[in-house]
Structure 1
Amino acid sequence: MIVHKLIPRLLVLFLTVQLANAQQKSPLTRQYITPVRIVWKNGDVRNSEQLLKPGIGQGDLANRNIVILNNKKAGEKASILLDFGRELHGGLEIVTGMWGGGNKPRNIHIRYGESVSEAMSSIGEKGATNDHAIRDFRALVPWLGKIQFGESGFRFVRIDLEDEHAELQLKEIRAIYTFRDIPYLGSFKSSDERLNKIWQTGAYTVHLNMQEYLWDGIKRDRLVWVGDLHPEVSTLSAVFGYNEVVPKSLDLSRDTTPLPGWMNGISTYSMWWIIIHYDWYMKNGNLAYLKEQKTYLNGLVKQIVARVGNDNKEHMDGTRFLDWPSSENPKGIHAGLQAMTVWSLATAAKISVLVGDKETEALCNLTVTRMKKYIPDVNNSKQAAALMAIAGITTAEKANKEVLSVGGAKNFSTFYGYYMLETKAKAGDYQGAIDVIREYWGAMLDLGATTFWEDFNMDWLPNASRIDEPVPAGKIDIHGDYGAYCYVGFRHSLCHGWASGPTSWLTEHVLGIKVMAPGSKIIKITPHLGDLKFAEGTFPTPYGVVKVKHTKLANGKIHSEITGPKQVKIIR
């Protein structure tokens, strides 16, 4: 009898444990965002300002303060375009009222847009697409109910009533903002508000892409692109400190790329995986996690070295890629791949020392030494020049003077712009880098950006429209009329984490905060204010935040106030 009584209890316990194991708790939070502006209306739309008032997400029988879209005539569509104030990742919630003529649902057309012009476009128009995320779709909304719709990256939403001779009553429309609810531990503030906004915009761009994994784009490229992760992880470390999304994404890339494959099919992206691991270890100091990479790293290093010829040149297979703007410069790509091979193998040597792999360390050092005997022509590629300087194949001063400084921000890129800035800093040209940040990344803000874009070209600026308004007559649609390669027109992502480089650069070089020992246990602080009167901010470590404030005195010298956790040694 006792056994018979125990069986149901054990079964319940077993099922409970199995259910708990099957459930996965999301790291993401949902927050409801009210529209801030009605950009455009068409047809019979009444009481639309009601949609700008915060809602509660609940229909009711009072049916007061209702927004009405009415299609009175055949072929007429009542429409409205809403602005949620900033780029966000998430979906849409609609709460409806009680329209007459029976309780039939209504057919609507919903279009998300990162720009006004994208939200006003149709699929196929100027590259408008549903790739990666559905942002243009038709749906039914219920009578006196609530319904939620799927995710994408957007700021603007257009809604059209599709049914002829019909009325649609709207009580509320809210964006469902989906994000990691984590504090901004890092900060930056200076005497230049433009730089402050650029730092914050880069931080927010990466924050939006910190979903279940670390994506590169929230509308398109909702994927883990390993090379693109490097500037993202640099920004994430400067703003948020440790976050599990980084090792989770690195491990996904490793586990979905058995050797002899290249991560994302690109040789440099497997090289970036090595570099990110070392940087992540220096910031957070988790040696056990670094040791988990030993076997894969050993095989990857042998795979890279096998593609270095007796002529000391790289001969990488797979997709030969640095970034999109450099993709039509094969000489520049070769120089960049040579530099990336040297940089990644030099980094792998450091990791090998830490994990106790003398064989891999020796192989790396031998290959780096002979590869540095060959100095390829960068062919005026700012991307390649920056990598060559970082890898120590050429001097930063030479790369900066002969290539990077030519034309100022012209031929900078959103991804490799970070390494161009790093090289300018290495050359001591801090003011030049600050000027480029203001000019290049600042130009996106001038055009209405609230996040940084997949690509940006200074040549796009003349007569360009803002992204937060309908394109005026005679103006160029900077979103729909530009773009190249895989991001033509509206397929172009206006929230791409690889464009966030100025955030970590300003922290490291203007605030002067540089990690010198694993786990951020030693930090060197050497500020470079350029033309700034002051700069202050914080930097997260595993032990708490380091705080700095630098003020330029009348004699040009800098007075610094620095505090930090007792576990962190701070040197000047």
Structure 2
Amino acid sequence: HNPHNATNEHAMRDFEIHVPWLGSLEHGNSGFRFARIDLLDQDVDYLLRNVQAISVMIDDPEIGSFSCSDERLNKIWETGAYTVKLNMQDYLWDGIKRDRLVWLGDLHPEVMTVNNVWGKHDVVRRTLDFAKADTPLPGWMNGFSSYSMWWLLIHRDYYLHHGDLDYLKENRDYILGLVRQLDECVDANGEEKMTGVRFLDWPTSEKPDVIHDGLQSLTYMTMKAARQIAGWLGDKEMSAVADKSLARMDKFEISRTDASQAVSLSLLAGMSKNPDADCRKLIENGIDSFSPFYGYYAVEALAENGYTEKAMEMISDYWGAMIDLGGTTFWEDLNYPDTKNAARIDEIVPPGKYDIHSEGGAYCYVGLRLSLCHGWGAGPTPWLQRYVLGVKPLEPGCRTIEVKPNLGSLSYAKGTVPTPYGPVSVEAHKDPSGKTVVDVKAPKGVKVAR
């Protein structure tokens, strides 16, 4: 057995089977990009006629779309959508090869992709409901306090996109209980004291100061989302808990580590005292500090603060590197400096080249255990529709949307974004003077704010 092998955790990948003579056999419920078959019997000739692999995936039409004058960004959009599509199974899985599980933090970039490509889809509701049923309070989803927060943030974003008030009401009691539980983990000085596993992403998992700053901002973001949800539900009880928690947290000064994950969340939470300086810090840290998961929030934070073009460059460099190395889906992990001497993953590694697939990885993704199709890496797909096409829901169910394309150095961008009333179509191009000309077609029932 290869010492770098992927192991059989979560799904069977390395196994032995008995095969018939003059017969056929169906075996294995797994996922793979590459497969190796060894004949283990000694001094035996086995006539193997063929091996067939069956691909199981949804056939729902893609309602959302994106294309622009940069083919690399187009390929990145398509790759992110395809990554999530493969994971849309009985639940919205984390990965096809290994993590055929529901991980709630990882779920947020996936749900944002589903919202922007397929619109309202049953797999999202099934997955959110499974997580709730599997985690009676006072438990934390997947054991992580941060992942329970991502569950609540997903509900906020799901409602903004789809406007399903009955579903929001169905989850009200659990959301209120979770908000109270989070509030109990914010002390009198407004400092988070989250229990359970304290986690943002794997690259920061051994940095308690970064985790603390990140959880402080993530808790603040979640309480702001709870206040929004309370307003939509007319729930004074939930609103009061969120307001008191936010008031305490407003008084607490976070320690301000320079790690991109913590800085990104601070910007998105609205807690940054100097957003421009923090954006410059993200740019200075660069993509060497990224993970496919939290890289999404770094480029989102940059775009929210006027650095859309720089974020596009980072997306092109970081996520594009996976495609350059032979990726057809986005990976669980990419340590960008490793790409400098890396061989493509779809070729035999030449002498002197780094085998990034077999020799790379850390933490839960050492060597071939690294997932090459991981939904948490799909963030650029919804990002391109939100910040380049500029489509953002302002009212629940997309009753009012903002359309403010930002082309940067692109000459044009066009695409569609699903709404409950039908897709919104946006085309933007630069005229000879360099001015951006925008054409928006919105279905009846959708008001467009420009």
TM-score by length of 1: 0.77
What's the counterpart of residue 162 of structure 1?
40
Q: 2:297 & 2:126 partners in 1: Cα distance? A: 25
Say if 1:185 and 1:539, in contact at 8 Å, map to a contact too: yes
What's the counterpart of residue 270 of structure 1?
148
Check 1:127–1:143 CA distance in 2 against 1; reply closer, same or farther (3 A cut).
closer
- Tell me, what secondary structure is at the counterpart of 2:35? strand
Say if 1:396 and 1:423, in contact at 8 Å, map to a contact too: no
What's the counterpart of residue 451 of structure 1?
329
Q: 2:168 & 2:116 partners in 1: Cα distance? A: 20
User: In structure 2, which of residues 7, 12, 19 is the aligned counterpart of residue 141 of structure 1?
Assistant: 19
Matched, 1:244 2:116: no
Say if 2:260 and 2:285, in contact at 8 Å, map to a contact too: no
What's the counterpart of residue 278 of structure 2?
399
CA RMSD of aligned residues (A): 1.3
Matched, 1:465 2:347: no
* Identity rate, percent: 52
Q: Cα offset for 1:127?
A: 4.4
Quick one: which amino acid aligns to residue 161 of structure 1?
L
Cα deviation, 1:66-101, whole Å, max 9, x if unaligned, reads xxxxxxxxxxxxxxxxxxxxxxxxxxxxxxxxxxxx
User: In structure 1, which of residues 389, 393, 396 is the aligned counterpart of residue 267 of structure 2?
Assistant: 389
- Tell me, what secondary structure is at the counterpart of 1:171? coil
- Tell me, what secondary structure is at the counterpart of 1:541? coil
Q: 1:467 & 1:418 partners in 2: Cα distance? A: 23
- Tell me, what secondary structure is at the counterpart of 2:9? coil
Going by fraction, where is strand more abundant, 1 or 2? Answer: 1
Q: Cα offset for 1:381?
A: 0.9
User: In structure 2, which of residues 132, 139, 155 is the aligned counterpart of residue 254 of structure 1?
Assistant: 132
Cα deviation, 1:93-121, whole Å, max 9, x if unaligned, reads xxxxxxxxxxxxxxxxxxxxxxxxxxxxx
What's the counterpart of residue 425 of structure 1?
303
Say if 1:396 and 1:426, in contact at 8 Å, map to a contact too: no
Q: Cα offset for 1:482?
A: 1.3
User: In structure 1, which of residues 472, 477, 495 is the aligned counterpart of residue 355 of structure 2?
Assistant: 477
What's the counterpart of residue 417 of structure 2?
539
What's the counterpart of residue 367 of structure 2?
489
What's the counterpart of residue 368 of structure 1?
246
Say if 1:375 and 1:393, in contact at 8 Å, map to a contact too: no
What's the counterpart of residue 52 of structure 2?
174
What's the counterpart of residue 186 of structure 1?
64
Q: Cα offset for 1:168?
A: 2.8
Q: Cα offset for 1:565?
A: 1.4
Q: Cα offset for 1:413?
A: 1.3
Cα deviation, 1:362-412, whole Å, max 9, x if unaligned, reads 1101211220222212321100101011111114323202x2011422201
Q: 2:179 & 2:449 partners in 1: Cα distance? A: 35
Q: 2:232 & 2:398 partners in 1: Cα distance? A: 16
Q: Cα offset for 1:265?
A: 0.4
User: In structure 2, which of residues 292, 296, 315 is the aligned counterpart of residue 437 of structure 1?
Assistant: 315
Higher Cα Rg, which structure: 1
Q: 1:232 & 1:398 partners in 2: Cα distance? A: 30
Q: Cα offset for 1:494?
A: 1.1
- Tell me, what secondary structure is at the counterpart of 1:523? strand
Cα deviation, 1:154-202, whole Å, max 9, x if unaligned, reads 1222222333443333333221001111111111111111000000000
Q: 1:353 & 1:309 partners in 2: Cα distance? A: 25
Q: Cα offset for 1:476?
A: 1.2
Q: Cα offset for 1:452?
A: 0.6
Q: 1:546 & 1:358 partners in 2: Cα distance? A: 34
What's the counterpart of residue 84 of structure 2?
206
Say if 1:217 and 1:493, in contact at 8 Å, map to a contact too: yes
What's the counterpart of residue 444 of structure 2?
566
Matched, 1:232 2:110: yes
What's the counterpart of residue 233 of structure 2?
355
Gaps of 5+ in 1: 1-121
User: In structure 1, which of residues 113, 130, 144 is the aligned counterpart of residue 8 of structure 2?
Assistant: 130
Gaps of 5+ in 2: none
Q: 2:22 & 2:389 partners in 1: Cα distance? A: 55
Say if 1:346 and 1:368, in contact at 8 Å, map to a contact too: yes
What's the counterpart of residue 523 of structure 1?
401
Q: 1:520 & 1:144 partners in 2: Cα distance? A: 59
Q: 1:157 & 1:343 partners in 2: Cα distance? A: 43
Q: 1:514 & 1:129 partners in 2: Cα distance? A: 42
Cα deviation, 1:24-81, whole Å, max 9, x if unaligned, reads xxxxxxxxxxxxxxxxxxxxxxxxxxxxxxxxxxxxxxxxxxxxxxxxxxxxxxxxxx
- Tell me, what secondary structure is at the counterpart of 1:480? helix
Going by fraction, where is helix more abundant, 1 or 2? Answer: 2
Say if 2:149 and 2:219, in contact at 8 Å, map to a contact too: yes
Say if 2:6 and 2:13, in contact at 8 Å, map to a contact too: no
- Tell me, what secondary structure is at the counterpart of 2:340? coil
Say if 1:281 and 1:290, in contact at 8 Å, map to a contact too: yes
Quick one: which amino acid aligns to residue 322 of structure 2?
M
Aligned length: 449
Residues 50-199 of structure 1 correspond to what in structure 2 (within 5 A)?
Answer: 122=1, 125-199=3-77
Say if 2:421 and 2:445, in contact at 8 Å, map to a contact too: yes
What's the counterpart of residue 385 of structure 2?
507
Q: 1:333 & 1:556 partners in 2: Cα distance? A: 43
- Tell me, what secondary structure is at the counterpart of 1:437? helix
What's the counterpart of residue 172 of structure 2?
294
Q: Cα offset for 1:548?
A: 1.2
TM-score by length of 2: 0.97
Cα deviation, 1:109-145, whole Å, max 9, x if unaligned, reads xxxxxxxxxxxxx35x124311111112222233333
- Tell me, what secondary structure is at the counterpart of 1:138? coil
Cα deviation, 1:440-466, whole Å, max 9, x if unaligned, reads 001111100001111111121121111
Cα deviation, 1:241-286, whole Å, max 9, x if unaligned, reads 0111111111111111111111110001111111100100111111
Quick one: which amino acid aligns to residue 421 of structure 1?
V
Deviating beyond 6 angstroms after TM superposition, the runs of 4 or more aligned structure 1 residues are none
